[in-house]
Amino acid sequence: MDGLILVDKPWGLTSHDVVSKLRRILGLRQVGHFGTLDPLATGLLLVGVGKATRLFPVLSKHDKAYRGRIRLGLATDTYDAEGQPISAPCCNFPDEKELVRAMAGLSGTIEQLPPPYSAKKVEGKPLYKWTRSKKSVELRPHRVSIYAFRLIRYVPPDVDVEIDCSAGTYIRSLAHDLGQVLGCGAHLADLCRTRVGSFELSEAVSLDKIQEWTSRKQTEKFLRPLESLLEEWPKLLLHRRADRGIAKGRAIEAEQVAQLSEGRRCKGRTNLEEPLIRLFSFDGKFLGLARPDKRDRKIIPFLLLR
If DSSP codes are grouped into helix, strand and coil, which group holds residue 199? strand
- C-alpha 281/C-alpha 192 separation (Å) is 38
- C-alpha 58/C-alpha 72 separation (Å) is 36
- Indicate the helix (H) or strand (E) that contains 212: helix 207-215
Contacts of 149 (CB under 8 A, 6+ apart): 103, 104, 106, 107, 161, 163, 174
Neighbouring C-alpha atoms within 13 Å toward the C-beta of 96: 8
- C-alpha 176/C-alpha 173 separation (Å) is 5
**DSSP E strands, 181-276:** 186-196, 199-200, 223-224, 235-238, 257-261
Instruction: Determine whether 38 is an active site residue.
Output: yes
What φ, ψ does residue 172 adopt, rounded to 5°? -60, -40
173 contacts 112 by C-beta, under 8 angstroms: yes
Strands 298-304 and 158-165: unpaired
231 contacts 277 by C-beta, under 8 angstroms: no
Q: One of 8, 38, 80, 243 is an active-site residue; which one?
A: 38
The residues assigned a catalytic role are 38
